[in-house]
């Protein structure tokens, strides 16, 4: 009697967690604290700047959780899109669920056109000066390094080379 109720409970919870059909598209939830960019949008694939490297999610991808580094999120709405929709994000997290729903949560995201190339270059140079003049291991040096990393990534995204 006890085993029958336990096994029926497990069967019911398993059907809740896993869908019996394969997903045909990625359901994208892309949100920031101040606005929701996509909610439940059906897309072909999303390419995300994970900490361990850039990776792509298509339908039926293995469930995955990744911290994001500052970089570009590319959304391909249709298969074989020549022109993915790109957002530069400041970091965050991306979670892919077993049913191919992908949640991308970032503190800030902008279109690449909104990035000012001259400001990026100026900020990078200022951060580099701060980095070399700060004491090793201090918070000021860490902050300068953060600024250098993100401005360098932004430069790469918009085609400005900084070093």
Partner 1 sequence: MSSTPVTTFWRVAGMSYLQYINKTAGTMRSVLKEPAKTRAMAQEAYGYNAAVWEAGKQGPKLPVANIQQAGK
**Region of residue 53 (left: phi > 0; alpha: psi -120 to 50; beta: else):** left
Judged by CB under 8 A, the residue of 108, 130, 131, 162 near partner 1 is 108
Q: What's the distance, CA 133 to chain centroid?
A: 32
55: number of Cβ within 10 Å:
15
Contact with partner 1 (CB under 8 A): which of 5, 20, 34, 132? 34
Q: Specify the 3-state DSSP secondary structure of 125.
A: helix
Closer Cβ to partner 1, 6 or 142, answer by number: 142
Question: Cβ closer to partner 1: 99 or 143?
Answer: 143
Regarding 94 and contact with partner 1 (CB under 8 A), the answer is no
Our finding on whether 71 is near partner 1 (CB under 8 A) is: no
Q: Is 91 in the site for partner 1 (CB under 8 A)?
A: yes
Q: Does 123 bind partner 1 (CB under 8 A)?
A: yes
Contact of 52 with 66, CB cutoff 8 Å: yes
């Amino acid at each position: 009697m006890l085993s029958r109720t336990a096994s029926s409970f497990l069967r019911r919870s398993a059907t809740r967690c896993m869908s019996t059909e394969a997903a045909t598209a990625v359901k994208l939830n892309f949100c920031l604290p101040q606005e929701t960019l996509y909610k439940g949008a059906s897309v072909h694939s999303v390419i995300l700047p994970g900490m361990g490297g850039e990776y792509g999610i298509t339908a039926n991808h293995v469930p995955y959780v990744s911290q994001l580094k500052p970089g570009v999120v590319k959304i391909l709405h249709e298969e074989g899109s020549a022109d993915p929709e790109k957002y530069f994000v400041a970091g965050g997290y991306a979670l892919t669920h077993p049913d191919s729903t992908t949640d991308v949560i970032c503190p800030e995201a902008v279109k690449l056109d909104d990035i000012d190339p001259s400001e990026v270059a100026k900020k990078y140079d200022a951060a580099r000066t701060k980095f070399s003049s700060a004491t090793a291991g201090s918070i000021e040096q860490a902050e300068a390094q953060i600024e250098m990393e993100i401005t360098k990534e932004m430069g790469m995204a918009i085609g400005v080379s900084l070093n």
